[in-house]
Amino acid sequence: MTSGGSCLCGAVRYAIVSAPTFVCVCHCESCRRASGAPMVAWATFEKECIDLPRAGLQRVASSSGVLRGHCPRCGTSLTYENTRRPGEIDVTLASMDDPAAFTPSAHIWVLEKLPWVTLADGLGQYDTTP
């Protein structure tokens, strides 16, 4: 499977040569604040399967052991890396060229979801992470 994506302005483009290992919707406060959205959909990939120009990606340590990557020009949130999962990288599903090709299987960090969000899609729900 080959897929790819980019930021809003196109300055940061990436290519992926595998299927994701996990696709989810995160409701944690950190993801909400980093994106300005009530939740963020992520696709997890093995790092060796993604070609991401690190030079063009601005990475910010958003919390202990976490690096979030975004475009320095337009600000699009693109990646999430956690030292607890050193061989993996999460990519924002909405930044992918064909986000509809990947269906989330779970909601994570439901413990922190906003009270007005109703989850009725039948996906798995985890208080934190599975």
Contact predicate 69/79, CB 8 Å: yes
Number of domain units in the chain: 1
In the chain, alpha helices (H):
29-35
Confidence of residue 112 (pLDDT cuts 50, 70, 90): very high
Show the domain range for 52: 3-125
Q: What is the pLDDT of residues 44-53, one digit of tens each?
A: 999 999 988 8
Q: What is the pLDDT of residues 7-28, one digit of tens each?
A: 999 999 999 999 999 999 999 9
pTM, two decimal places:
0.91
Q: Is residue 56 part of a domain?
A: yes
| CATH code for position 68 | 2.170.150.70
Q: Is residue 130 part of a domain?
A: no
Q: Is residue 31 part of a domain?
A: yes
